[in-house]
Structure 1
Amino acid sequence: MESPWSFHNAVSNTVITANVELGTTKHFFPIENGLDLLSNENNNFQQESFHLDDGNKLRMSTSPVDPAVSHRLVALVTNFRAQFQAEKDETAQFDVLTDSMQYMPTMRRASLLAQHLEVDYGLGKINPNQNIDEKYRLKALNVSLLTQRRLHGLQFPPNCSSVKLLLCQVPPHGLGSVLHHLAYCLIFGYGLNRTVVFDWEEFRYEIQWNDYFYPLTNCTVTPDIQNQAAKYDFTWLGHDLAQLDHKVIAFPFGYILHRQYGYMVPADLVADILPWCDDPVLWWHSLVMRYVLLPTSKLRSLLLMARKRLQYPSSTVGIHIRHTDKLFKEAKYYGLQEYLEIADSYFKSLASNGSSDDTNKVIFLATDDTKVAQLSKSFRRQYTIINDYDATSLAEGSYYKSPRYSKRGFETALVDIYLLAASDYTIVTMSSNVGRLVYEIKKIYLWHDISHTIYSLDEAYNLFGCDRYIIHHRQRAVHVAVKEYKAKDDNRELSLQPGDLVYFERLGLRPNQYFGYSETLQRHGIYPIDCVKIVTKIYDYPVYEEFAKTTINRLELYDG
């Protein structure tokens, strides 16, 4: 059903449409709804919560019966507060492997491991110039953990033979493409209330997935599941779909997901984040990506060793330059100098406001082009450039015959992605899966507006496939103008005023253009990407109340 109303979020220039009434913002954070800071095995607590007092201090409200449990709470709250302090202190090192870990439920361990990445890789820095309200920080954490609990409950059923399944075929593509497809499958399964099982037969990397990330489900693909899989019609929400009765639905690689769930966010989750969320679509996809990217101890050690080996500093600009196969059909060529011009602008802005002196110019360069890596050496009088040349060599070459699919290639790609995300400022091309993935990883650990931490030389952030192919379906993406644009050629371009709606149809001939139909002008034309934002649709996904108190045990069962 189409939304009966819409409103404009003036803070973020995000336009929201909804078919539900959004609740009011609360300042009360029940543990049972997300923070999950204690195990309540003995039912000693009737109600446990955290709230903010008048001085914005975190307080705990509880009535413990057992003194031993009260002792646990003191340790847990101490650790909880320590994380917030560590996040604001660049020199702080928060050790997740403390004695209090034994008291913590597995859900909390997952959060602590995420915080470990946040501190050690610089992913949790808050811009000191931003006036950030701590209560929204807590709400973000609350919603994030609730989403992880729901995904875990859906993906780890007690009996795999008794639930409906979605068969996700993992494509034989690069790492960024694979990770996004895994996330899309999980989003689709979440919307259809189906457990997603993964067919890894065509996966090309010479590694075992569970060596680096925790398993996505406890259900496995069997010949019976493959034989039962029905091809899904993927028509629009609200239609009667006979395929929904099938035990197994096949979800092939492709663009079909986006017609249905691409730019939709769950109504019950988004209500609490709208006051501060600059991009609900990015936020929602980052929550799912967080589930996909839960690292094992092996990956955590790999990242820490790489950071030490490369002498990766606490403050840097990350640059990702993707050439090779992307230039054949997906992207325009951008040379190193074009990236460095953007980096220079950033360094000058830091110097002008006193955040850094003009001589402290550290760049982490991740590329699949050895010529770019060699060329970067000629700029080392102007910058300190960090580049893993071995990683560049592995990534270079033919897409189908490259050693990038070796174990070493997989590991170096992961290191590049995480270190790019850890950069204070990252320059990418969003036409690349890696560029979009870096943005999503940043959003996992930074709950507020992160648009100032990344720059794309070509496209705006998008869900690959949706913008390009949604024209094939009657439901098209809708853009809203957020700033004025005067057409230089009235026969080809669309002039825009803030608030104008444009029905997107396809990309323009240039990377920074869209082509669509203007509701105001009543005609087709091209228009610039940076003048519009996507209209986010809020949809009633399943609420999964049965998973509200699920204990996440992925870490407990599989600690690589």
Structure 2
Amino acid sequence: MPEPFMEAEQMRRQVGRDVRHTWQFLKFHLRNLSSSNNNLTTVLEDLEHFFRVTSHDLTRLNDVDGFREWREKEAAALSALVQHRLHILQNPPDCPAKKIYCDFKAAGRGIGSQLHHLSYCFLASYGTQRTLILDTKNYNGNPEGLETFFLPLSDTCTSYDKSQMVPPGKKDSLVVRFPSMDRPNPRPNYFPKSIPKDISERLVRLHGDPFAWWMGQFFKYAMRMNKDFQDYIDNQAREMGYESPIVGLQIRRSDKLIHEAVYIDLSVYMEEVEGFYKQLELRQPVAQRRVFLATDDPNVIPEIKQKYPEYKVVYNSASVDSTRLNQRKKSESVRYFFADVYFLSRSDFLVCGMTSNAELRADAEPPRGRLDRVSSVDRDYYFHYEVGNVVKARFPHKPRRPGELEMQEGDEVNRNDLPTHFRKHPSKDNGFLWGRNTRTKKFGYYPVYKTVEVLKRANIQSFEDIDRINKTV
């Protein structure tokens, strides 16, 4: 047996021993909590270290299982395939081609919500194989719109005739207008929460959250920085002292607390941050713990400096000031927003709240491309107006506490993952999430470890002709 595989087998057995010994430890000490030599705080601290070591071993297993090079090559190849398709759709050889028009300036939407809108526009473009015309001119006081920061979506096919524009649904129309609220009728099967069937096997084999990876590909294409914005980012990184290792910390409060989110104390965020650094220190020395802070609550800055003096806090004070409600529509606030999202997505670990639309870009393309480097303090990744966020029970569950959901093996649970639902039924951070059993029609908290996500795979038009244009993909 080759040496890498031998080491992987040894590590796999070590993980098995880790789990068995952790269970023995937990069972013994819970039964003896009344002992004078024992207390709950000590048991929890020891248990945390047990799991940290097990997590370290799992990470090591990923490094020595012999597939690391394959993962890196496959990730690059699959992304290159999708990026090539997007490039050809946006730069068709036969322009004027069929187009789809998307207005990025719809009233009543914040920038995070607009990015959800952009995602739906891209999905419609991809699913119908139309060139996307994205109108962002004068967005928030920026005459060039998003092109103030990013490269144009197309170099060759940018004009359209408004007189030819019709609502979506007519296949032969030269220009269709995508609805501003992202709800075309009929609703395409390739809308969230699904992935394209033609790349689904490769994607499921490669990635822990295929849907998040899929949505990240659109942002990867749309947010290719132009030189001016790249220079701004580089200067900001130097001025702030942004360097690895660093944890991205996004704390959004203000208007989100009114309807969707709940207040979460700083200590909850920092517990995740400290967990990352303790895990990292099992593998390497860390001379300085750093966090990059993006927040709309200026009170967090003195609080984190006072309570966690061992951390170097990296942030852009101008960005924090720009998040005040009366400042958000100014041109510079958009620059600060995209810079913050960039730094969050490039951190070694990301701690955030998924109720924040601002996290869409950072979560869709997580730090170093790995979902195990993202921790949400409130809820799972969610997409506006998604349909089919369903899990299937791997094992039956009989409720043991009030509010728990009964499940039989094979039952499907709709997670009803709306922001308003989270506010009414927040995660208790105990391994249970809120959902509805589609068989019994009952709502309740279900044990996540007994379920597996049901991934929807959508049939779309063949990209065979487009793929042939680039023989190397």
Give the structure-2-normalised TM-score: 0.75
Partner of 2:375: 455
Question: What is the letter of the counterpart of residue 328 of structure 1?
Answer: I
Deviation at 1:322, TM superposition (A): 0.7
Bigger helix fraction: 2
Matched, 1:527 2:454: no
Deviation at 1:530, TM superposition (A): 4.7
Provide, for residues 78-113 of structure 1, a one-character-per-residue CA deviation record: whole Å limited to 9, x for no partner.
Answer: xxxxxxxxxxxxxxxxxxxxxxxxxxxxxxxxxxxx
> Structure 2 residue aligned with 1:206, among 115, 139, 142?
142
Question: Do the aligned partners of 2:196 and 2:459 also contact (CA within 8 Å) in 1?
Answer: yes
- Correspondence 1:512-551 to 2 at 5 A: 512=427, 513-519=433-439, 522-528=440-446, 530-531=448-449, 532=451, 534-550=453-469
Matched, 1:166 2:108: no
Provide, for residues 447-479 of structure 1, a one-character-per-residue CA deviation record: whole Å limited to 9, x for no partner.
Answer: xxx22201101110122221xxx4xxxxx4422
Q: 1:421 to 1:330 in 2, by over 3 A?
A: same
Matched, 1:278 2:208: yes
Partner of 2:321: 393
Structure 1, unpaired ranges of 5+: 1-53, 57-126, 233-240, 471-475, 552-560
> Structure 1 residue aligned with 2:269, among 331, 339, 357?
339
- Correspondence 1:146-165 to 2 at 5 A: 146-161=81-96, 163-165=97-99
Question: Do the aligned partners of 1:213 and 1:294 also contact (CA within 8 Å) in 2?
Answer: yes
Deviation at 1:287, TM superposition (A): 1.7
Question: What is the letter of the counterpart of residue 226 of structure 2?
Answer: T
- In structure 1, what is the Cα distance between the partners aligned to 2:299 and 2:389? 39
Question: Do the aligned partners of 1:179 and 1:292 also contact (CA within 8 Å) in 2?
Answer: no
- In structure 2, what is the Cα distance between the partners aligned to 1:497 and 1:373? 48
Q: 1:129 to 1:177 in 2, by over 3 A?
A: farther
Q: 1:533 to 1:182 in 2, by over 3 A?
A: farther
Partner of 1:253: 180
Task: Report the 3-state secondary structure (helix = DSSP H, G, I; strand = E; otherwise coil) of the residue aligned with 1:538.
Answer: strand
- In structure 1, what is the Cα distance between the partners aligned to 2:405 and 2:236? 48
> Structure 2 residue aligned with 1:412, among 336, 343, 346?
336
- In structure 1, what is the Cα distance between the partners aligned to 2:219 and 2:165? 25
Deviation at 1:201, TM superposition (A): 5.6
Partner of 2:41: none
Identical pairs, percent: 25
Deviation at 1:498, TM superposition (A): 6.8
Question: What is the letter of the counterpart of residue 210 of structure 1?
Answer: E
Deviation at 1:489, TM superposition (A): 5.0
> Structure 2 residue aligned with 1:501, among 408, 412, 419?
412
Deviation at 1:549, TM superposition (A): 5.0
Note the aligned Cα RMSD (angstroms): 3.0
Corresponding pairs, count: 396
Question: Do the aligned partners of 1:505 and 1:517 also contact (CA within 8 Å) in 2?
Answer: no
Q: Which moved more, 1:255-264 or 1:320-329?
A: 255-264
Question: Do the aligned partners of 2:62 and 2:68 also contact (CA within 8 Å) in 1?
Answer: no
Matched, 1:130 2:130: no
- Correspondence 1:347-496 to 2 at 5 A: 347-351=277-281, 353-356=282-285, 360-395=288-323, 397-398=324-325, 401-402=326-327, 404-442=328-366, 446=369, 450-466=370-386, 470=387, 476-481=388-393, 487-489=399-401, 492-496=403-407
Between the two structures, name the one with larger relative contact order (CA 8 Å, sep ≥ 6). Answer: 1
- In structure 2, what is the Cα distance between the partners aligned to 1:543 and 1:164? 16
Question: Do the aligned partners of 2:414 and 2:436 also contact (CA within 8 Å) in 1?
Answer: yes
Q: 1:440 to 1:504 in 2, by over 3 A?
A: closer
Task: Report the 3-state secondary structure (helix = DSSP H, G, I; strand = E; otherwise coil) of the residue aligned with 1:334.
Answer: coil
Deviation at 1:252, TM superposition (A): 1.9
Partner of 1:263: 193
Question: Do the aligned partners of 2:350 and 2:375 also contact (CA within 8 Å) in 1?
Answer: yes
Question: What is the letter of the counterpart of residue 150 of structure 2?
Answer: F
- Correspondence 1:36-75 to 2 at 5 A: none
Q: Which moved more, 1:169-178 or 1:328-337?
A: 169-178
- In structure 1, what is the Cα distance between the partners aligned to 2:391 and 2:188? 15
Task: Report the 3-state secondary structure (helix = DSSP H, G, I; strand = E; otherwise coil) of the residue aligned with 1:366.
Answer: strand
- In structure 1, what is the Cα distance between the partners aligned to 2:137 and 2:248? 34
Structure 2, unpaired ranges of 5+: 5-58, 428-432
Provide, for residues 31-90 of structure 1, a one-character-per-residue CA deviation record: whole Å limited to 9, x for no partner.
Answer: xxxxxxxxxxxxxxxxxxxxxxx999xxxxxxxxxxxxxxxxxxxxxxxxxxxxxxxxxx
Q: 1:361 to 1:210 in 2, by over 3 A?
A: same
Task: Report the 3-state secondary structure (helix = DSSP H, G, I; strand = E; otherwise coil) of the residue aligned with 1:246.
Answer: coil
Q: 1:458 to 1:305 in 2, by over 3 A?
A: same
- In structure 1, what is the Cα distance between the partners aligned to 2:307 and 2:409? 41
- In structure 1, what is the Cα distance between the partners aligned to 2:269 and 2:142? 32
Question: Do the aligned partners of 2:140 and 2:334 also contact (CA within 8 Å) in 1?
Answer: no
- In structure 2, what is the Cα distance between the partners aligned to 1:367 and 1:290? 23
Task: Report the 3-state secondary structure (helix = DSSP H, G, I; strand = E; otherwise coil) of the residue aligned with 2:442.
Answer: strand
- In structure 2, what is the Cα distance between the partners aligned to 1:179 and 1:506? 19
Deviation at 1:482, TM superposition (A): 6.2
- In structure 2, what is the Cα distance between the partners aligned to 1:297 and 1:128? 38
Q: 1:332 to 1:255 in 2, by over 3 A?
A: farther
Q: 1:529 to 1:287 in 2, by over 3 A?
A: farther
